[in-house]
Amino acid sequence: MKKLNVGLVGAGFMGKAHVVAYSNMPKFFWPAPAVPVLKTICDIEPSIAEEAKDRFGFQACCTDWHDIINDPEIDVVSICTPNNAHAPIAIAALQAGKHVICEKPIASTLDDAKAMADAAKEAAKKGIVSMNAYQYRRVPAIDLAKKFIDEGAVGDILNIRCTYLQSWSADPDSPLSWRFQKDIAGAGTLGDIASHVIDIAQYLAGDIEEVVSMVKTYIKERPVQEGGVDLLGTVKLGADAPRKEVDVDDEDSFLVKFKNGAVGSIEATRNAWGRNNFITIELHGTKGSIAFNYERLNELQVCFADDPDDRRGFKTIYTGPAHFHGEVTWNIPGMNIGYGELKTIEMYEFIKAITEGYQPSTNFEVGYRVERVCDAVMRSAQDKAWMKVED
């Protein structure tokens, strides 16, 4: 059985998600395309690196990512750091001949995103694979939606409405983690979560051509936190804590026009009390409609125009063994998959692409296109006008 040695940079929340995915992939997908071996984990904080090594079962740990790049035994690099570190690590890894899976958004600036896409294109000539972790398009229900669209079951797409709503930053006492600092994150809600639904919208309805947007920052300053770990609002800092300015967006709302003539809207915020991982997609076509909500990720709602008048309406399909990779997860629809299984499916797609020698559907070029849509959203908010997405 082929083995691939893994080096992982960034031992926080997403580092844990990648470890779960590497470990579980051969347990679900057997025979696995290759078995990942957890070789080295890197975190700039020595105590976190040490702890992560033991907790996750890596053979070694380090505090300088160059040690991973310079290790000839490492085949695959996972990048789970804050956004501004994506480009230097990814480019160095690709140039060293390592396959790269990088968390989203691809980078903290458009220039970095382009440099990463260029490096990935060069590396691809030598069979090196790049992947940006836009995992939500791999939810089996979203895959089913894509199948209905491709088969023509809902006709031509007229409109797609997407939201990504969370609540973890709605409290002004939630600390100023790196996600609220432009020089590290590049953007706020836009890069962090709107990017996911931009990816899904383009996956289902094709490239976005033009946008008009409104961008808001509701909470202008937040308490400064000790250390770089992002606590995602789980710990609050009191009124006495020193506060610093937030220089990124809390909420983005925009209308979109697709190249194929469809239209739509995207709304994203992390300040929506009561909404948690509320990714909704509603798509209307000439022959039917599709609706999805990640908070019920094992379900897809569909309505077909051809149904008789007296029984036309949304019906719910529960995803299971008949759907995307459902034959290897759990046996009965309704047993349900969650975030861990979803990241495992994503990891399978990454490892399979490496062993079979092709670029996955969320390669760096695709991540760079999402970034260009984000850039148009920001330009539009500034100039209060429709903006074209750069081709």
Which residues are at the interface with ligand SOE (CB under 6 A)?
A: 166, 192-193, 232, 270
Q: For ligand SOE, give the closer residue by CB, 78 or 166.
A: 166
| Least distance between ligand SOE and beta carbon 228 (Å) | 15
Length of the chain equals: 391
Give the residue nearest to ligand SOE (CB): 192
Residues in a beta bridge with 3: 35
CB 285 within 8 Å of CB 156 = yes
| Least distance between ligand SOE and beta carbon 135 (Å) | 7
Q: For ligand SOE, give the closer residue by CB, 229 or 232.
A: 232
Q: For ligand SOE, give the closer residue by CB, 320 or 367.
A: 367
Q: For ligand SOE, give the closer residue by CB, 21 or 62.
A: 21
| Least distance between ligand SOE and beta carbon 70 (Å) | 29
Q: Take residue 245 and report the two structure tokens written for it.
A: 């300015």
Contacts of 73 (CB under 8 A, 6+ apart): 5, 39
The closest alpha carbon to 363, from 27, 185, 132, belongs to 132
| Least distance between ligand SOE and beta carbon 390 (Å) | 24
Answer positive or negative: Cα dihedral of 19, 75, 62, 87: negative
| Least distance between ligand SOE and beta carbon 179 (Å) | 7
C-alpha span between 5 and 40 (Å, rounded): 8
Q: For ligand SOE, give the closer residue by CB, 133 or 378.
A: 133
Q: For ligand SOE, give the closer residue by CB, 71 or 371.
A: 371
| Least distance between ligand SOE and beta carbon 166 (Å) | 6
| Least distance between ligand SOE and beta carbon 127 (Å) | 29
The closest alpha carbon to 203, from 269, 252, 143, 257, belongs to 143
Q: For ligand SOE, give the closer residue by CB, 233 or 285.
A: 233
Measured at the alpha carbon of residue 186, what is the angle toward residues 226 and 101, in degrees to the nearest 5? 90
Round to the nearest angstrom and report the end-to-end CA distance of the chain: 42
Q: For ligand SOE, give the closer residue by CB, 153 or 232.
A: 232
Q: For ligand SOE, give the closer residue by CB, 18 or 39.
A: 18
Task: Give the CA distances from residue 50 to residues 23, 33, 43, 82, 139, in Å, rounded to whole numbers and listed in that order.
Answer: 19, 30, 9, 19, 33
**Cα 168 → chain centroid:** 17
| Least distance between ligand SOE and beta carbon 132 (Å) | 11
| Least distance between ligand SOE and beta carbon 310 (Å) | 41
| Least distance between ligand SOE and beta carbon 333 (Å) | 24
Q: For ligand SOE, give the closer residue by CB, 175 or 288.
A: 175
